[in-house]
């Protein structure tokens, strides 16, 4: 192939566009403040990075798929209590994540 176009070979030698590049981890946005579990997600991401783990590595250690870790970090998913305990144990937080889950949080209400 010539011309510098980013293409990959598809089925039976056909060409298809190369998949779009994902942003580097530092470029990915932090959890949105409006996400129900945003504070938990921010804490989890900071603790995971401080431990030097990828989402995949952390997921393997706690028995969850890396996409579940991603959703937790994005604040989009409520963490099951058992998972929070495993995350605290693996990340050696002394219960920091469990405290975030137990803390009262303000849930945005439409029209207020």
pLDDT at 3 over 90: no
Q: What is the pTM of this model?
A: 0.65
CA distance 21 to 32: 22
Phi, psi for 16 (deg, rounded to 5): -140, 155
- Reported as a single tens digit per residue, the pLDDT across 9-32 is 555 655 655 555 554 444 455 555
Tell me if 74 sits within 8 A of 33, measured CB to CB.
no
- Reported as a single tens digit per residue, the pLDDT across 36-48 is 789 999 999 999 9
CA distance 63 to 57: 10
CATH number of the 31-97 domain:
1.10.260.40
Of 87, 72, 81, nearest to 37 by C-alpha is: 72
Helix segments in the chain, DSSP class H: 38-50, 55-62, 66-73, 81-91, 96-102
The better pLDDT of the pair 84, 34 is held by 84
The better pLDDT of the pair 87, 100 is held by 87
pLDDT band, very low/low/confident/very high, at 61 (cuts 50, 70, 90): very high
Enumerate the domain spans of the chain.
31-97
Predicted local distance difference test score (pLDDT) of residue 13 = 57
């Amino acid at each position: 192939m010539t011309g510098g176009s980013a293409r990959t070979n598809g089925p039976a030698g056909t060409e298809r566009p190369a998949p779009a590049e994902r942003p580097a981890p530092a470029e990915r946005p932090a959890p949105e403040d409006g996400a129900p579990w945003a504070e938990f997600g921010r804490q989890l991401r900071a603790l995971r990075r401080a431990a030097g783990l990828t989402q995949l590595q952390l997921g393997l250690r706690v028995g969850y798929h890396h996409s579940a870790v991603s959703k937790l970090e994005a604040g989009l998913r409520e963490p099951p209590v058992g998972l929070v305990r495993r995350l605290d144990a693996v990340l050696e937080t002394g219960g920091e994540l469990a405290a975030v889950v137990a803390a009262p949080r303000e849930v945005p209400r439409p029209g207020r």
